[in-house]
Structure 1
Amino acid sequence: MMVPLALLVLGGLVAAMAPRVLTRSDWPDREPVLALWVWQCVVVAVLLCCALAMALSAASAWDAVRGNVFAPAPRGVVEAYALTAYGPWAAPVAVALACGAMWTAAMLTREIRGARARRKQRRAELLVRSPLLPGEEAGADRLVVLEGDRPDAWWLPGGAAAQLVITTAALRRLKGSQLDAVLAHEQGHARARHDWLLHCSSALAAGFPQVPVFAGFRDQVHRLVELAADDVASRRFGRLTIALALVQLNEERGVFGPCPNQVAQVPQRVHRLLSAAPRLTAGRRLRLTAAAALVPVVPLLVAFMPGLSALR
């Protein structure tokens, strides 16, 4: 059972060590989009380790599975894996990993259904507070202005029916290009489909709360998507403009006081925008991108190495 065991050990090491390395690095704040890419590659690598270990363990335990997994492979490739020598632990490991896969699918399904229900409810509330004008289609992409004493702006995703919502208090407080910067920030979320990243990270963390990489993925995604959207707005309207807009929208929520509330990441976002740390060089960004892309390749090499060696 050497290959499945090697895959499980590899997945465990990546799941335990990658969050520590990434959270202790200082470059993700400078390159949030690249950091999101690295986190996704790490999570995919862990999931690949589990999926490949499950397939090989099941192939060892049951002939029917073995016939499907190794159907197009020559006899020498099957013999290279020594499936009959895996022992009695193959079936329990395969069943445990299959249960984990089903649990992951269930968590993803629950998260997506919950998000759709919440989105549907919020759309119904928006239609009550801001009815459609004569001739306006319900699915049209539109800017919704709501009466409200609290300055706020958010993007309600939904594909073709996505909506940007802003309150009248925000319109009164935002000056000059600050409003355009806030709209660009929210549109940055929409174009990058950050809602899907948030749903996937939340589902994995809820399903496996004791796995460090999934908990770290959820926490960092919630932070990095905001930094990435800030950068989208700052490239068009400047760092000072979006920083002032964040202050105007959040100064009455207690986030800048000695006892900040749950949106306390706003001061860090403002400080990051005003400090204007330089981006990584193009060469270093390219190297990090390539290195991250290779992380999911390692489990594939571990899984296919015996078969490739047998084909020489």
Structure 2
Amino acid sequence: MTLPLALLVLAGLAASAAPRVLARSSWADREPVLALWVWQCVVAAVLLCCVLAMALSGAAAWQAVRGHVFAPAPHEVIEAYGLGSYGPWAGSLSLLLACGGAWTGAMLLREVYEARVRRRQRHAELRRRAPRLPGEEPDPEDRLVVLEGEKADAWWLPGTAPQLVITTAALRRLKGRQLDAVIEHEQGHARARHDWLLHCSSALATGFPRVPVFAAFRDQVHRLVELAADDVASRRYGRLTIALALVELNEDRGVFGPCPTPLAQVPQRVHRLLSPSPRLSVARRLRMTAVAALVPVIPLLVAFVPGLSALRQI
């Protein structure tokens, strides 16, 4: 049982240490896209540790599983893993990890289902508030919906035919290129498929609320996707333009007052846009991207070391 336990210990260390290390980093706000990539690599490594531990313990417990896991491997490689010495706990551990995997899939399916329900409800609300005229046919190219409303708001509604929804109050408030910057911000979410990243992070955090890395992953994803979309808009229309647009859309919601609100990150986003820190150098970004990509490789190396050592001796 040494190797599966080593993988689980590695997963536990990553799940507990990664949120603390990344929370102390000062570069995440400067490079939100890179920070999202690092978080995804860490979460992938944790999940991969569990999958590999499940496969190895299952192979030790059941011959049928062993035949699938080690099907192309020579006999010396199988012997190198010492599957016969794993003991009676191998089957229980494999079943426990398999149940965790099934639970993860169930949480993801539930998140996707609930997202579709919310999307259908929003589409129904749009049809109620902006009904089509008699004889008007739906246009698949219609990507913009303007709603009559006194509350300044704009949001991207994902789906098979994604739409940008904006209220008339927002049109009155946003001046000059501010409206274009808001549209670019929302389109940045759509192009990067941030909705799927939000669904996956929410599913993991809901399914395993006591795992620190999953809860931190969800919280950071919700924050970083907004920073990334702000950067997309600022590169085309300028930081001041998108900052003023954020102020115009949110100043009536109490987010700039002394009391915290659910949108308390808006002042931080505005401050970040108005007082930008220098980006990391291209060389450093490339190094960090490559190092993050290697994080999921570590569990693979740990799992394959006995087999590779056996192959060298053949």
TM-score when normalising by structure 1:
0.98
Code of the aligned partner of 1:146: L
Please tell me whether residue 51 in structure 1 is matched to residue 51 in structure 2: yes
Using the alignment, how far apart are the partners of 2:15 and 2:108 within structure 1? 19
Q: Deviations over 1:239-273 (max 9, x none)?
A: 00000000000000000001131100000000000
In structure 2, the partner of 1:300 is 300
Deviation at residue 135 of structure 1 after TM alignment: 5.0
In structure 2, the partner of 1:225 is 225
Using the alignment, how far apart are the partners of 2:198 and 2:289 within structure 1? 21
Using the alignment, how far apart are the partners of 1:139 and 1:292 within structure 2? 40
Deviates more, 1:134-143 or 1:38-47: 134-143
4+ residue segments displaced more than 2 Å: 131-141
Sequence identity (%): 77
Secondary structure of the residue aligned to 2:131 is: coil
Secondary structure of the residue aligned to 2:258 is: coil
Deviation at residue 142 of structure 1 after TM alignment: 1.5
In structure 2, the partner of 1:150 is 151
Using the alignment, how far apart are the partners of 1:190 and 1:199 within structure 2? 14
Secondary structure of the residue aligned to 1:210 is: coil
Q: Deviations over 1:1-33 (max 9, x none)?
A: 111111101111011101111111110000000
In structure 2, the partner of 1:118 is 118
Does the aligned pair in 2 maintain the 1:111–1:202 contact within 8 Å?
A: yes
Deviation at residue 137 of structure 1 after TM alignment: 2.7
Using the alignment, how far apart are the partners of 1:47 and 1:141 within structure 2? 40
Using the alignment, how far apart are the partners of 2:239 and 2:199 within structure 1? 29
Q: Deviations over 1:189-223 (max 9, x none)?
A: 00000000000000000000000100000000000
Pairs within 5 Å for 1:7-26: 7-26=7-26
Q: Give the length in aligned residue pairs.
A: 311
In structure 1, the partner of 2:33 is 33
Deviation at residue 131 of structure 1 after TM alignment: 2.4
Please tell me whether residue 65 in structure 1 is matched to residue 72 in structure 2: no
In structure 2, the partner of 1:137 is 138
Using the alignment, how far apart are the partners of 2:148 and 2:202 within structure 1? 31
Pairs within 5 Å for 1:163-174: 163-174=163-174
Code of the aligned partner of 1:144: V
Does the aligned pair in 2 maintain the 1:141–1:162 contact within 8 Å?
A: no
Does the aligned pair in 2 maintain the 1:50–1:97 contact within 8 Å?
A: yes
Secondary structure of the residue aligned to 2:301 is: helix
In structure 2, the partner of 1:250 is 250
Using the alignment, how far apart are the partners of 1:202 and 1:302 within structure 2? 29
In structure 1, the partner of 2:104 is 104
Using the alignment, how far apart are the partners of 1:290 and 1:217 within structure 2? 20
Code of the aligned partner of 2:81: Y
Code of the aligned partner of 1:143: L
TM-score when normalising by structure 2:
0.97
Q: Deviations over 1:34-88 (max 9, x none)?
A: 0000000000000000000000000001111111111111001100000000111
In structure 1, the partner of 2:284 is 284
Code of the aligned partner of 1:199: H
Using the alignment, how far apart are the partners of 1:129 and 1:137 within structure 2? 15
In structure 1, the partner of 2:203 is 203
Q: Deviations over 1:212-241 (max 9, x none)?
A: 100000000000000000000000000000
Code of the aligned partner of 1:114: E
In structure 2, the partner of 1:180 is 180
Code of the aligned partner of 2:111: E
Code of the aligned partner of 1:22: L
Using the alignment, how far apart are the partners of 1:103 and 1:27 within structure 2? 34
Using the alignment, how far apart are the partners of 2:141 and 2:102 within structure 1? 37
Query: Mind listing any 5+ residue stretches in structure 1 that lack a counterpart?
Result: none
Deviates more, 1:130-139 or 1:176-185: 130-139
Secondary structure of the residue aligned to 1:148 is: coil
Using the alignment, how far apart are the partners of 2:248 and 2:24 within structure 1? 31
Query: Mind listing any 5+ residue stretches in structure 2 that lack a counterpart?
Result: none
Please tell me whether residue 267 in structure 1 is matched to residue 267 in structure 2: yes
Code of the aligned partner of 2:258: P
Using the alignment, how far apart are the partners of 1:250 and 1:234 within structure 2? 18
